[in-house]
Copies of this chain bind each other. A is one copy, B any other.
Amino acid sequence: MSARFGVNYTPRTGWFHHWLDFDLDAVRADLDAIAVLGADHVRVFAVWPLFQPNRTLIRPAALRQLGSLVDAAAERGLDVSVDGLQGHLSSFDFVPSWVSTWHRQNLFTSDLVVKGQAAYLTAIATELAGRPNFLGMSLGNEFSQFAGRLHPSAAELTVAEAEHWLQTMLAACAAGAPRAEHHHSEYDAALFDPVHPFTPQLAARLGTRTTVHSWIFNGTAKRYGGLSEQSVRLAEYLLELGRGYASDPHREVWLQEVGAPAPHVSAADAPEFTRRTLDHVLDCTGLYGVTWWCSHDVSRDLADFPELEYGLGLIDQRGRVKPEGAVFAEFAGRPPVEPAPRTLGLVLDSGATSSDDLLAPRRDTCAPGGAFFEAWMELAMAGQRPAVVLAPFAGDELHLKARRIETLVTVERL
């Protein structure tokens, strides 16, 4: 398998507000710049309240514009994956008025809301299904944050309800585009917060592949340093963690987001961070691809972004490729090399009682500073190339064999 290289498309002019002033020529210019990087795909983002301002109004013009964006990408040899429920982007939440304040409902369990979301995802998938460069949908960028306990308007949710919502949304995508590949994405709390209703097993077992979003501002950079081994291996670690939670030993992982955030990584260090991160990531087996965050820096004309969000682009505001963009392009242009299997499995006991158990009540062991995190990093830094084996699979010979795992080690015995 040859890993795909792509970028998360952040429109140079207007950021995602560009949907309000959609300009296909500006999109084409952005995509031209992305193609120059050697990317083979982009991940693009609808803005939910603009596409579906009323529950029963999914704007045909918005769907047409999205379609024209996908077509413009095709003209440049770029495939496209589309996130529907934004939802959340770079600290900003976009939630339609029909589920806010006076109309507030649980975004995951309200029957009307779920029907509305499903209709919306089906509409997008239907619009794009016939386009050969359409890869499929992601439900929404880290939508599960709306069920995170730190969210200002967190929804109450059980794991069973989270699973049901994911199944329903994935089915809605498939209803519109049955042959495309549909995914969902999680954020750190789902992987590390013991009580988050979206569990790592849901992340690793629903949808076509397991997606990984790797951000060193999750505590890794603060604890270990922005250019520490822990930071430049965070994406590798999360990919292996995703592999470990899967029940299918052959399930692929997709590094759907990774970036070099200031001030944890200075502008001068961003190329090195990018190079070392990608080196490690390409040493993971089962890697579907890498989608860098992001294509274009955010304009300083736009206010109120967290400082780090302005400078994440591989391309600057004037359209010039940044040094980290050159590193990305170098990797994207390399001939593919299949890494050797990882034969050492570090056993993860995050509390699941069986291979079917979807709970991970001790998943905080995986967070930066947690015992499992530290043990895995220790092995990795010692050159051991550790994989992750979830405890219920540690006695499953077929599973281990399929993954080419030969040796198991537990955190306690390190």
Cβ–Cβ < 8 Å partners of A21 in chain B:
59, 61
Interface assignment of A384: CB less than 8 Å from any CB of chain B: no
A100-135 CB mask vs B (1 if < 8 Å, else 0) is 111110000000100010000000000000000000
Give the residue name and chain of the B residue nearest to A102 (CB): B91
Q: Once bound together, how far apart are the Cα atoms of A351 and B265, in whole Å?
A: 60
Identical copies in the complex: 2
Contact check, B97 vs A303: say whether CB atoms are below 8 A apart. no
Contact check, B92 vs A98: say whether CB atoms are below 8 A apart. yes
Cβ–Cβ < 8 Å partners of A302 in chain B:
54, 56-57
Contact check, A14 vs B97: say whether CB atoms are below 8 A apart. no
Cβ–Cβ < 8 Å partners of A95 in chain B:
100-101
Pick from B93, B94, B98, B104: contact of A152, CB under 8 Å: B104
Pick from B54, B93, B151: contact of A303, CB under 8 Å: B54
Pick from B55, B153, B303: contact of A55, CB under 8 Å: B303
A66-97 CB mask vs B (1 if < 8 Å, else 0) is 00000000000000000000000001111101
Q: Once bound together, how far apart are the Cα atoms of A315 and B95, in whole Å?
A: 31
Interface assignment of A20: CB less than 8 Å from any CB of chain B: yes
A55 CB to nearest B CB, Å: 4
Q: Once bound together, how far apart are the Cα atoms of A20 and B65, in whole Å?
A: 12
A98-B304 CB under 8 A given contacts A57-B14, A91-B103, A103-B91: yes
Interface assignment of A301: CB less than 8 Å from any CB of chain B: yes
A356-390 CB mask vs B (1 if < 8 Å, else 0) is 00000000000000000000000000000000000
Q: Once bound together, how far apart are the Cα atoms of A116 and B302, in whole Å?
A: 12
Contact check, A102 vs B152: say whether CB atoms are below 8 A apart. yes
Interface assignment of A341: CB less than 8 Å from any CB of chain B: no
Q: Once bound together, how far apart are the Cα atoms of A95 and B56, in whole Å?
A: 20
Contact check, B92 vs A17: say whether CB atoms are below 8 A apart. no
A101-B15 CB under 8 A given contacts A55-B304, A56-B301, A304-B54: no
Cβ–Cβ < 8 Å partners of A14 in chain B:
57
A282-306 CB mask vs B (1 if < 8 Å, else 0) is 0000000000000000000111100
What are 18 inter-chain pairs, A to B, with CB distance below 8 A?
A17-B54, A17-B57, A20-B20, A20-B61, A21-B61, A49-B49, A54-B302, A54-B303, A54-B304, A55-B303, A56-B301, A57-B302, A92-B103, A98-B304, A100-B100, A101-B152, A101-B153, A104-B152
On A, residues with C-beta under 8 Å from B are 14-15, 17, 20-21, 49-50, 53-57, 59, 61-62, 91-95, 97-98, 100-104, 112, 116, 151-153, 301-304
For the complex of A and B, 6 pairs with smallest distance between CB atoms: A92-B97, A56-B303, A93-B101, A17-B53, A55-B303, A101-B152
